Amino acid sequence: MKNNLIYLLILGLFLSSCASPIREVTRKIEDGNFAEAKEQLDQLFEEEGAKEDPELWLLKADYYMHLFESEVPEHQELADDPLKKAYDAVNKAEELDKETNLHLLEIQQKRLVLSELIFADGLEYYERQDFPKASEKFHRSYLVTEQLESPDTMTLFNAALAAEQGGVYMDAQKYYKELVDLELDEPYIYLGLSNTYLYERDNIAIDIEKQEAFIKAYDKKGRIDSIFEQVESEREIKSILSYELDAPSDIIDHVIEEEPHKFDEDKINEIKSEYETLSAKQDDLEESALKYLKMGRERYPEDIDLVFGEANFYLMTGRTEEAREILDYAIERDPENPSLHFAFGANYEKMAEDELLTEEEREMAFEEAVKAYERAIEIDDEYVDAYYNLGALYFNEGIRIFEEAEEELRETRDFQQYQKAEERINEMWLKAQPYMETAKELIEPNHQMYRAIITSLYQLYARTDQEEKQEEIQDEYQELFGEPE
The answer as to whether 57 is a domain residue is yes
List, in order, residues 6 or more apart from 181 with CB less than 8 Å away.
none
Is residue 83, in this structure, part of any structural domain at all? yes
Question: What is the model's pLDDT at position 19?
Answer: 53
Domain assignment present for residue 468? The answer is no
Domain range for residue 264? Answer: 187-301
Alpha-carbon separation of residue 443 from 42, 206, 329, 435 (angstroms): 60, 30, 32, 13
From residue 434, give the alpha-carbon distance in Å to each of 349, 387, 431, 471: 19, 9, 7, 17
**Strand, helix or coil for residue 47:** coil
Residues 243 and 202 placed together within one structural domain of the fold: yes
**DSSP structure class, residue 149:** T
Domain end residue (candidates: 301, 330, 361): 301
Residue 282, in any domain of the structure: yes
Whether residue 45 sits in one domain with residue 89: yes
Which of 44-58, 132-146, 326-340 has the weakest average pLDDT?
Answer: 326-340
CA–CA dist 242, 397 (Å, integer): 19
Same domain, 264 and 161: no
CA distance 70 to 68: 6
Report the pLDDT value the prediction gives residue 477, as an integer from 0 to 100. Answer: 82
Give the Cα separation of 366 and 394 in Å (integer): 9
Q: Do 203 and 134 belong to one domain? A: no
pLDDT digits (tens, 9 = 90+) for 25-66: 888 888 888 888 888 888 888 888 888 999 999 999 888 889
Has residue 261 been placed in a domain?
Answer: yes
My answer on whether 30 and 133 are in the same domain is yes
Q: What's the pLDDT score for residue 13?
A: 39
Q: Which residues contact 268 (CB under 8 A, 6 or more apart)?
A: 214, 215, 218, 260
What is the chain's length? 485
What's the mean per-residue pLDDT of the chain?
Answer: 86
- If asked whether residues 124 and 213 sit together in one domain, one would say no
Which of 245, 271, 301 finishes a domain?
Answer: 301
83 touches 64 (CB < 8 A): yes
pLDDT for residue 479: 80
CA separation for the pair 361, 7 (Å, rounded): 101
The total of other beta-carbon atoms located within 10 Å of residue 482's CB is 8
Q: In angstroms, rounded to a whole number, what is the distance separating the alpha carbons of residues 466 and 371?
A: 28
How far apart CA 383 and CA 477 sit, in angstroms, is: 23
161 and 39 within one domain: yes
The least confident of 140-154, 269-283, 300-314 is 300-314
pLDDT band at 292 (very low <50, low <70, confident <90, very high): very high
Average pLDDT over residues 410-428: 79
Look at residue 16 and tell me whether its pLDDT is greater than 60: no
pLDDT digits (tens, 9 = 90+) for 103-125: 899 999 999 999 999 999 999 99
Same domain? 197 vs 149: no
Q: Average pLDDT for residues 372-399, to the nearest whole number? A: 93
Q: How big is the CA angle at 298 (ends 294 and 301), to the nearest 5 degrees?
A: 105
Whether 268 is in a domain gets the answer yes
Q: Which carries the bigger pLDDT value, residue 258 or residue 15? A: 258
Asked if 160 and 203 sit in the same domain, the reply is: no
Q: Are residues 297 and 207 in the same domain?
A: yes
CATH number for 102 = 1.25.40
Residue 192 lies in a domain: yes
The conformation of residue 185, written as its DSSP 8-state character, comes to S
pLDDT tens digits for range 227-242: 888 888 888 888 888 8
Domain C-terminal end among 285, 301, 317: 301
Would the pLDDT of 485 be above 80?
Answer: no
Q: H helices of 32-81, where?
A: 34-46, 54-69, 73-76
Say if 146 falls within a structural domain: yes
Q: Are residues 240 and 115 in the same domain?
A: no
Distance CA(269)–CA(260), nearest Å, equals: 12
In whole angstroms, what is the distance from residue 371 CA to residue 273 CA?
A: 45
Q: Predicted confidence band at 8 (pLDDT cuts at 50, 70, 90)?
A: very low
Give the pLDDT confidence score for residue 483 in this predicted structure: 58
**More confidently predicted of 72 and 97:** 97
Q: How far is 16 from 6, CA to CA, in rounded Å?
A: 15
**149 and 201 housed in the same domain:** no
Number of folded domains in the chain? 2
Secondary structure (H, E, C), 289-311: HHHHHHHHHHHCCCCHHHHHHHH
